[in-house]
Structure 1
Amino acid sequence: MYKIILVDDDYYVLEFLKTMVPWQSLGYEVIGVFEDGDKALEVVKKSHVDVIMTDIGMPRLDGISLIKEAKQHREGIHSIFLTCYDEFDYAHQAIKLNSFEYVLKEKMDTTMITDIVSRLKDEMDKKKQKDRELSNIRFLVKENLTVLRGRLLDHLMRKPPAIVNDWIQKHKADLNLDLSMTHCTPVLAFVDSYEALLTDDSYAFSVENIVMETINQYGKGFCLFDKEDKFYLFFDEITISKKVLLQRISDNLNTFMNVTISAIIGQHCVFPHEVSLELATLQQAEEQRFYLKQGEIDERKSSSSLGATIFEQLRHTNSELKELLLLEDNQKLHSWLEIQYAIINANQFSAKQVRNWAHSFLLDIERTIQMMQEDKEVFRLENESNEVLHVKTMWRLYEILKNAIAKAAEMVKDIHRHSSKPEIVKAKKYVMLHLDKKITLKDVSEHLHLNPSYFSRLFKQQTEMTFIDFVNKTKIERAKELMDHSQETVESISDMLGFESKSYFLKVFKKYYGATPSQYKTIQR
């Protein structure tokens, strides 16, 4: 349905148009009837209007002025003029405004109006169909160009220079790129926070246009997308420094699309003969991307500086975090995360190690909260755990962990506020804060100011396990963490967890896990 408004200061004309013309069957919806041009214009400004049928001679805002103003607000709006004046000047102005029809009221009848609006509908239908066809053609051209440029990148990465040269000569006109350079500087660029743009089908095309326009202001070059968040730049003979050019590209993307780029600059090389080798080196430098800050631009570095083992260096940090969570110290929780962030950045651990550590860390938080929860809704960090396994930058990982810690801290408070048996929560909390000590029923009962027999019955009733079982199970979970992520010996772990002897630790471990610590390590390997 096309939307039309009717405007005339003559009440009877409006009544005639409104009641005598079968608008709906003709494919129109009348969304407004006005005796005043000003009120009609307000509707045009606020709503989608396809057609205005208006009188010319009206007080305040006449029909000619109404259509002039309406066209400034709604491109492509159609007009049909009604008038009592059979004068050339009015007809001439209507023609200048590209009016569809100019109708004398004295000759107007239902048949005439029906014929006019039917012809207008046919014209609008044809234009709509033509626009659709043009849009499809543009889409196909854009898709073909994307595919062709993707093949260019593939050739530059993998094919011998002679084949690349022949291919470029064959497709040069279709690629619509300046490939006249004899040397170039390849750059590997990443779109920061690109996920927010994935709903826009033309996002890569828009990024490419902004990048190309910026490069062309300072030299020559081109841009080739590899993946949704990653593209390569090739430029030469630029009049400003590489870093400044890349910063201006990032600034322009931020201005027009609200995104920035991070980038790694490769070495200047012969085009296309040395490009393949330099692109291979840049691909290996993707590990460097993990540690780039949002919007950071850097020269390519050797990957040899990346590599210590994260679990050895941070083996005690998870237990520190759990202690801070249980103590509900939000300020120290924030400081703790800042320290880990600084340690990881300083050591430049491999991205895979950092992701695995973060995943293990989130599972650890989950288990800690779940141990404190009563049998209701189980606390989960499933989305965060999945995301950290695929996170591409350290700054984004920091955001995920920060949000996860805040969520966990809020859950700890919630457990304390709403627990039906606060004694059980306090007992579990005591155990998790004293895993390095020998914990007895008597110790906890005294801490809670309860009779040991009463507390023992209460704990079993609420948790369906004895208190000593809970203590041993919690300690064995911690022992498994230490065996998974540290080089500590069985004797050392036994001492760290307050067991009376190594033999007792082995006995308890086998009871709860069904295998000895050495068998467990073999299975994990």
Structure 2
Amino acid sequence: MKVVILSCHSEFQYAQQAMRLNVQDYLIKDALDPQELARLLSRFKQMMDGERRAGWEHSRMKHLMDGTRELRKEQWFKNFIHQPLLAPDRWRKEAEEYGLLKEGTWCLPVIGFVEDYRQVKYRFASDQTLHFAVGNVLNEVLRESPLPGLHVGYDVRTSLLLFSYRASLKVNIHDEAAACVRMIRDTAMRVLKIPMSFICGSGSRGPAELKQELNELLEGREQRFYLKRGEIAKKAKARPAPKSYESNLFHYYDQACSELRDALLRKDETQLRKLVDGWMEFIRRGKYPAETVKDWTLKLLLDVKLKLHALPRLTPSNSADMLHKEAADLDSLHDLRGWVIAHLESLARAQAASVRPEVTEACNYVALRLGSRITLEEVAAHLHLNPSYFSRLFKKETGLTFIEYVTKQKMERAKELLDGTRFSVGDICEQLGYDNQSYFIKTFKLHTGQTPVGYRG
């Protein structure tokens, strides 16, 4: 039996349930194209006719093989990348089964990164589901691409794309690959609401060259750290570390610490954001080592908290150790910016009123999860509090109900996205965890007095 679900629910949790039940496709009523449905039914018929001709047992075995093929492919490539290449000729013969390095062809590797991983992962039940969803979309785009390509999921945040081509003066492989990568990037954003950025390597004509190129792409953490959201870049040469004191980021540490502390004391969240954006741009121009930037930022955050006497009130999930783990897990300057702003704004709200630490922690929890649906029961469970007690405590300390507070924070984030990005209203609606665009527009108008389109002007 082949199953396709036609639904008015666009939330990923429903599509995810469908995947687990081995549903073949999931269509949204609002975007239904009758021709697409006809093609889908035709494909089902062809599949079932093929199964009937081959026999059910053969079809079942093929299904099991297809299910494990991606895992076998990923492990085979990881072994190739990380283990010594002892038999290049044998490896090339095995690679030909995947369409790579056939006689007379070259291979251009590209590495792709999932951006906003801390936000994205909350929309998926598990890393495994996220990995599966990204792989499905990338494989589907490559099947339709005029340039032969292979997708290999390296890990949940990282994908490898391997394009096969014949070297020719008439064809610019980098332009062709970039066009295909743009299609992949746009499709991942449109279908999964996952932003991705990419680094394109150099062409390789043999296993040894390809192995070296893949290792260099995976080790290019500095370039990856400075990629802009959605950027497609060519692999850059490693820069030597700066030697002069002025080129050391810590030369500017006291200035940054003083500016942020003063803004927090004035309880000025707008100025806080401007300061963070200014320092992030300063860091981008200086191209400081990624680990130095993360160490500098973590020290800055902890020192500001200390000088404002906030450390004694830190909860376990906001402790120095936890902050260190969070910072180490950030892949890009873009992600670092969002992380710093979330923590500073949480601290600003704590400074604005002498609130209970449980409320401070709840505000921090919301700030880090604006991309998902947040319920009072969920946060109460996180704090190990009774929901009714937490609701009364939150209203007493902040003057707002918990739902009013979450809505206010989401609307402020919506204003930032409308001001600073070209995302459509529908995209922003989904990024903030709303599954009903009409409700989102109504809520935004109640909060600002304007519709999202009117606000953007």
What is the TM-score normalised by the length of structure 1? Answer: 0.48
Match of 1:149 among 70, 74, 80: 74
Indicate the residue corresponding to 2:141 in structure 1. Answer: 214
Indicate the residue corresponding to 1:440 in structure 2. Answer: none
CA displacement 1:85-109 (0-9 Å, x = unmatched): xxxxxxxxxxxxxxxxxxxxxxxxx
**Greater Cα offset, 208-217 or 348-357:** 208-217
Structure 1 residues 335 and 186: CA distance shift in structure 2, 3 A: same
CA displacement 1:195-254 (0-9 Å, x = unmatched): 524626344344234323333422112122222111221113369533222111111112
Q: 2:329 aligned with 1:405, yes or no?
A: no
Give the Å deviation of 1:412. Answer: 1.1
Partner-residue secondary structure (3-state), 1:268: coil
Distance 1:342 1:409 in 2: 22
Distance 1:153 1:221 in 2: 18
Indicate the residue corresponding to 2:114 in structure 1. Answer: 191
Distance 2:101 2:156 in 1: 24
Distance 1:247 1:315 in 2: 41
Give the Å deviation of 1:276. Answer: 1.8
Identity over aligned pairs, percent? 20
Partner-residue secondary structure (3-state), 1:232: strand
Q: 2:169 aligned with 1:169, yes or no?
A: no
Partner-residue secondary structure (3-state), 2:288: coil
2:233 alignment partner AA = D
CA displacement 1:462-482 (0-9 Å, x = unmatched): xxxxxxxxxxxxxxxxxxxxx
Q: Is the 8 A contact 2:115 2:194 kept in 1?
A: yes
Unmatched runs of 5 consecutive residues or more in structure 2: 1-36, 38-55, 166-172, 357-457
Partner-residue secondary structure (3-state), 2:331: coil
Give the Å deviation of 1:395. Answer: 0.5
Distance 2:267 2:316 in 1: 17
Output aligned runs, 1:324-473, within 5 Å. Answer: 324-370=263-309, 381-382=318-319, 384-415=323-354
1:322 alignment partner AA = R
Indicate the residue corresponding to 1:291 in structure 2. Answer: 226
Q: Is the 8 A contact 1:355 1:390 kept in 2?
A: no
2:232 alignment partner AA = I
Indicate the residue corresponding to 1:252 in structure 2. Answer: 187
Q: Is the 8 A contact 1:189 1:230 kept in 2?
A: yes
Distance 1:245 1:326 in 2: 49
Distance 1:391 1:155 in 2: 27
Q: 2:214 aligned with 1:279, yes or no?
A: yes
Q: Is the 8 A contact 2:147 2:180 kept in 1?
A: no
Give the Å deviation of 1:265. Answer: 0.9
What is the TM-score normalised by the length of structure 2? Answer: 0.54
Indicate the residue corresponding to 2:128 in structure 1. Answer: 201
Distance 1:327 1:316 in 2: 17
Which runs of structure 1 show a deviation greater than 4 angstroms over 4 or more consecutive aligned residues?
134-141, 170-173, 176-179, 305-308, 376-380
Q: Is the 8 A contact 2:92 2:207 kept in 1?
A: no
Give the Å deviation of 1:155. Answer: 1.6
Give the Å deviation of 1:164. Answer: 3.4
Give the Å deviation of 1:256. Answer: 2.1
Match of 1:321 among 239, 251, 260: 260
Partner-residue secondary structure (3-state), 1:398: helix
Larger radius of gyration: 1
Structure 1 residues 393 and 264: CA distance shift in structure 2, 3 A: same
1:220 alignment partner AA = P
Structure 1 residues 136 and 325: CA distance shift in structure 2, 3 A: farther
Structure 1 residues 249 and 170: CA distance shift in structure 2, 3 A: closer
Q: Is the 8 A contact 1:262 1:293 kept in 2?
A: yes
Indicate the residue corresponding to 2:17 in structure 1. Answer: none
Structure 1 residues 377 and 282: CA distance shift in structure 2, 3 A: closer
Q: Is the 8 A contact 2:226 2:284 kept in 1?
A: yes
Structure 1 residues 249 and 387: CA distance shift in structure 2, 3 A: same
Distance 1:381 1:355 in 2: 17
CA displacement 1:378-406 (0-9 Å, x = unmatched): 79843545311221111111001111111
Distance 1:280 1:239 in 2: 19
Structure 1 residues 240 and 209: CA distance shift in structure 2, 3 A: farther
